[in-house]
Amino acid sequence: MIAVVSDAVNAVYVIAVIVFILGLKAMSSPETARRGIVYAGVAMLVAVVVTFFISGLSNFALIAIGVIVGGGAGFYWARVVKMTAMPQMVAVFNGMGGGAAGAIAAVELLASLTSGATTGLSVAGAVIGSTSIAGSVIAFLKLQGWMPSRPIVLPARQPVNLAVLVVGVGFGVYAVASTTAIFLLPFFVLLLLYGILLTLPIGGADMPVVISLFNALTGIAVALDGFALVSGPLGDAGYAMVIAGTLVGAAGSLLTVLMARAMNRSIGNVLFGAFGATEETGVAVAGQMKPIDAEDVAVMMSYANEVIIVPGYGMAVAQAQQKVKELADLLEAKGVPVKFAIHPVAGRMPGHMNVLLAEAGISYDKLFDRDEINNEFPNADVVLVIGANDVVNPAARRVGSPLQGMPILDVDRAKNVIVIKRGQGKGFAGIENELFYKDNCRMLYGDAQQAVGKLVQALKRS
Partner 1 sequence: MAADLWTALFIAILAAFTGYEVISRVPVLLHTPLMSGSNFIHGIVLVGSIVALGFATTPLEKGIGLVAVVMGAMNVTGGYVVTVRILAMFDRSKRRGGGS
- Comparing CB distances to partner 1, the nearer of 202 and 248 is 248
For every residue of 160-217, DSSP letters joined together read HHHHHHHHHHHHHHHHHHHT-GGGHHHHHHHHHHHHHHHHTTS-GGGHHHHHHHHHHH
Exactly one of 124, 191, 204, 255 binds partner 1 (CB under 8 A); that residue is 255
- Comparing CB distances to partner 1, the nearer of 243 and 429 is 243
- Comparing CB distances to partner 1, the nearer of 250 and 285 is 250
For every residue of 340-394, DSSP letters joined together read EEE-TT-TTSTTHHHHHHHHTT--GGGEEEHHHHGGGGGG-SEEEEES--GGG-G
Exactly one of 11, 37, 117, 163 binds partner 1 (CB under 8 A); that residue is 37
Question: Least distance in Å: CB of 281 to partner 1?
Answer: 34
Letter string b/e over residues 130-140, b meaning 16 or more CB atoms within 10 A of that residue's CB: bbbbbbbbbbb
Question: Least distance in Å: CB of 98 to partner 1?
Answer: 8
**Residue 267 makes contact with partner 1 by CB under 8 A:** no
Tell me which residues in 342-381 interact with partner 1 (CB under 8 A): 344, 349-352, 354-356, 358-359, 361-365, 369
Question: Least distance in Å: CB of 94 to partner 1?
Answer: 5
User: CA 105, CA 224: separation in Å to the nearest integer?
Assistant: 9
Question: Least distance in Å: CB of 164 to partner 1?
Answer: 22
Exactly one of 51, 269, 302, 450 binds partner 1 (CB under 8 A); that residue is 51
Exactly one of 99, 195, 203, 427 binds partner 1 (CB under 8 A); that residue is 99
Exactly one of 14, 147, 167, 230 binds partner 1 (CB under 8 A); that residue is 230
Integer distance in angstroms from the first to the last C-alpha of the chain?
Answer: 80
Q: 446: how many CB neighbours lie within 10 A of its CB?
A: 17
Question: Least distance in Å: CB of 425 to partner 1?
Answer: 26
Tell me which residues in 189-218 interact with partner 1 (CB under 8 A): 211-212, 215, 218
Coil, helix or strand for 318? helix
Exactly one of 175, 240, 391, 458 binds partner 1 (CB under 8 A); that residue is 240
> Quick one: which segment of 38-46, 147-155, 383-391, 420-428 binds partner 1 (CB under 8 A)?
38-46
Coil, helix or strand for 443? strand
Nearest 5 degrees, angle CA 260-CA 262-CA 266? 30
Residue 416 backbone dihedrals phi, psi, to 5 degrees: -135, 135
Interface map 287-326 toward partner 1 (x if CB under 8 A): ----------------------------------------
Question: Least distance in Å: CB of 205 to partner 1?
Answer: 16
- Comparing CB distances to partner 1, the nearer of 272 and 368 is 368
Exactly one of 40, 126, 310, 451 binds partner 1 (CB under 8 A); that residue is 40
User: CA 205, CA 190: separation in Å to the nearest integer?
Assistant: 27
- Comparing CB distances to partner 1, the nearer of 296 and 372 is 372
Exactly one of 147, 160, 167, 251 binds partner 1 (CB under 8 A); that residue is 251
Residue 25 to residues 22, 122, 398, Cα–Cα distance (Å): 5, 30, 40
> Quick one: which segment of 194-202, 257-265, 395-403, 421-429 binds partner 1 (CB under 8 A)?
257-265
Q: Is 390 a catalytic residue?
A: yes
User: CA 428, CA 444: separation in Å to the nearest integer?
Assistant: 19
- Comparing CB distances to partner 1, the nearer of 86 and 318 is 86
Coil, helix or strand for 255? helix
Please report, to the nearest 10 degrees, the dihedral formed by the alpha carbons of residues 323, 329, 333, 335 taken in order.
Answer: 110
User: In terms of Cα–Cα distance, which of 123, 121, 75 is closest to 96?
Assistant: 75
Task: Choose, from 206, 225, 390, 447, the residue flagged as catalytic.
Answer: 390
- Comparing CB distances to partner 1, the nearer of 231 and 450 is 231
Tell me which residues in 62-91 interact with partner 1 (CB under 8 A): 62-63, 65-75, 77-79, 83, 86-87, 89-90
Q: Is 210 exposed, middle or buried (0-12, 13-18, 19+ CB in 10 A)?
A: buried
User: In terms of Cα–Cα distance, which of 355, 365, 366, 354 is closest to 327?
Assistant: 366
> Quick one: which segment of 21-29, 148-156, 196-204, 302-310 binds partner 1 (CB under 8 A)?
21-29
Residues classed as catalytic: 390
